[in-house]
Amino acid sequence: MGNGTANMIHLYGTAEQKKMYVEKLTSAQWGGTMLLTESEAGSDVGALTTTAVKNPDGSYSLSGNKIFITNGEHDLAENIIHPVLARIEGDSPGTKGISLFIVPKYYVNPDGRLGERNNIVCSGVEEKHGIHASATCSMTLGGKGNCIGYLLGKEREGMKIMFTMINHARMSTGLQALTYGSASYLLAVNYARERIQGRDLENFADHSAPSVPIIKHPDVRRNLLWMKSYVDAMRSFFYFLTVRGTKARLADSEEERELNENIYSMLTPIVKDYLAVKGHEICIQAIQVFGGAGYTKDYLVEQYARDCKITTIYEGTSGIQAMDLLARKIGMKKGAVFMNFLAEIQNTVAQAKEANGLNHIAGQVEIAANRLGEIALHIGKKAMSPEFKVAFAHALPFLYAMGDTIMAWMLLWRAVVAVEKLDGAKKKDAAFYEGQIKTAEFFINTELPVTLGKMNAIEASCAAALEIPDEGFGGI
């Protein structure tokens, strides 16, 4: 997190702050964190109660308690720089009244040398389901003496500034889940090649027939291809959006930068949550491929499944990403950003229709993209009607339907390239390219029809989740 902290200081800090912190954070000589969450302020960051009081020298004295702080305390770096969200005494409630402060673990002298310890202390370390190598800390600010913080940017602009780090962290969280999923898939496919168990189905009745590696069994092959289809598609999607994020900053014209920024912004909640949820499902399926061995601690797949789960929770839970997509993103620029995105899918569809053997799956992706457009219009309108709560009850299924359609698009795109390359490819490369085409066929013919059914369900707008009485849930 040092880089995220450094980036915020680079963008919003004073010349002195940049000189003091940026280089040491980016070189990892010092560590960074992000201090948002409090026990009463998780998803609702605006409810935070950490307070800042201005001192005569322009610094602020902070007091409050934060929880769940990644790398809040450790001795891996000589200093830790904490960006802390707090409310200056007297400022308004909610997110609009929040400011951002740099709180160093050790004060930094003007010559760069470390001074006294600041009064920010770790008051506990969480015992967690996974990511045991990452210290998740409760932090007390100003519990026993003065905790000094320095304003970053302007007063009451804390959330705007913090979002430069949050958006970056959302992309990183998606990437984190993708890498757990990808590693789990590779472990599973290698295990399936080595684990000998059961006869080939065609020799089922022949007891003298040899046992085969489990990769020969149709159900294991289905599971592996299911995993591969998501891993490949999610990797392409992540690269696609990273390129768009880079172009948003570096493209030649202002118009191009804005176009790229808009699509990057619209699709960030999908990279964050879709990759998190599917990455975790892939890890679980990898355990399945290993059978009993996968449930033991002897193989890494069990650890990856535990480690991956956090990605659907931190940096904004699944539900929060779905609300962001529905309330802020699909209607961006009166829906023009969404329409441009659908047009990009249709471009790939048109290319695929020209490619040898891809006509059928191209048609399926075309149908899904058109249907997604209808569903977006439907849910967008509902979100602005008196029945807005029904729309929000379907916001996460909508995010997943959009994610599925993007997966199909990415796999179709990969298949288009594979068809081109297959002609005259060497044997080993040919297997790779054939693998790409089969992966696209698998996803588009077996997963995408389910998505179309789920889109029908979104359109049907069942309100049961809202209508069920609280007592009707049972429990207590």
Ligand X SMILES: Cc1cc2nc3c(=O)[nH]c(=O)nc-3n(C[C@H](O)[C@H](O)[C@H](O)COP(=O)(O)OP(=O)(O)OC[C@H]3O[C@@H](n4cnc5c(N)ncnc54)[C@H](O)[C@@H]3O)c2cc1C
Would you tell me which residues interact with ligand X (CB under 6 A)?
33-37, 42-43, 68-70, 128, 136, 310, 313-314, 317, 319-320, 323
Task: Tell me whether residue 212 or residue 320 sits nearer to ligand X (CB atom).
Answer: 320
Task: Tell me whether residue 136 or residue 184 sits nearer to ligand X (CB atom).
Answer: 136
Task: Tell me whether residue 149 or residue 294 sits nearer to ligand X (CB atom).
Answer: 149
Residue 378: CB minimum distance to ligand X, A = 21
Q: In whole angstroms, what is the distance from residue 118 CA to residue 282 CA?
A: 43
Residue 66: CB minimum distance to ligand X, A = 7
Task: Tell me whether residue 86 or residue 289 sits nearer to ligand X (CB atom).
Answer: 86
Residue 393: CB minimum distance to ligand X, A = 10
Residue 45: CB minimum distance to ligand X, A = 8
Residue 126: CB minimum distance to ligand X, A = 7
SS (H, E, C) the chain: CHHHHHHHHHHHCCHHHHHHHHHHHHCCCEEECCECCECCECCCHHHCCCEEEECCCCCEEEEEEEEEEECCCCCCCCEEEEEEEEEECCCCCCHHHEEEEEEECEEECCCCCEEEECCEEEEEECCCCCCCCCCEEEEEECCCCCCEEEECCCCCCHHHHHHHHHHHHHHHHHHHHHHHHHHHHHHHHHHHHHCEEEECHHHCCCCCCCEEEHHHCHHHHHHHHHHHHHHHHHHHHHHHHHHHHHHHHHCCCHHHHHHHHHHHHHHHHHHHHHHHHHHHHHHHHHHHHHCHHHHCCCCHHHHHHHHHHHHHCCCCCHHHHHHHHHHHHCCHHHHHHHHHHHHHHHHHHHHHHHCCCCHHHHHHHHHHHHHHHHHHHHHHHHHCCCCHHHHHHCHHHHHHHHHHHHHHHHHHHHHHHHHHHHCCCCHHHHHHHHHHHHHHHHHHHHHHHHHHHHHHHHHHCCCHHHHCCHHHHCCC
Torsion of CA 86, 92, 95, 97, to 10 degrees: -50
Residue 42: CB minimum distance to ligand X, A = 2
Task: Give the residue closest to ligand X by C-beta.
Answer: 42
Task: Tell me whether residue 119 or residue 318 sits nearer to ligand X (CB atom).
Answer: 318
Q: What contacts 290, CB < 8 A, 6 or more positions away?
A: 187, 188, 191, 195, 299, 301
Task: Tell me whether residue 293 or residue 313 sits nearer to ligand X (CB atom).
Answer: 313
Would residue 281 show up in a list of annotated catalytic residues for this protein? no
- Phi-psi region at 162: left, alpha or beta (left = phi > 0; alpha = psi -120 to 50): alpha
Residue 434: CB minimum distance to ligand X, A = 41
Count other Cβ atoms within 10 Å, centred on residue 242: 14
Taking CA atoms, 31 is separated from 77, 134, 161, 333, in Å, by: 6, 13, 19, 38
Residue 63: CB minimum distance to ligand X, A = 17
Count other Cβ atoms within 10 Å, centred on residue 292: 7
Check 315, 354, 420, 471 and give the catalytic one: 315
Task: Tell me whether residue 79 or residue 318 sits nearer to ligand X (CB atom).
Answer: 318
Task: Tell me whether residue 69 or residue 349 sits nearer to ligand X (CB atom).
Answer: 69
Task: Tell me whether residue 173 or residue 436 sits nearer to ligand X (CB atom).
Answer: 173
Residue 64: CB minimum distance to ligand X, A = 12
Q: Which residues have a catalytic role annotated?
A: 315
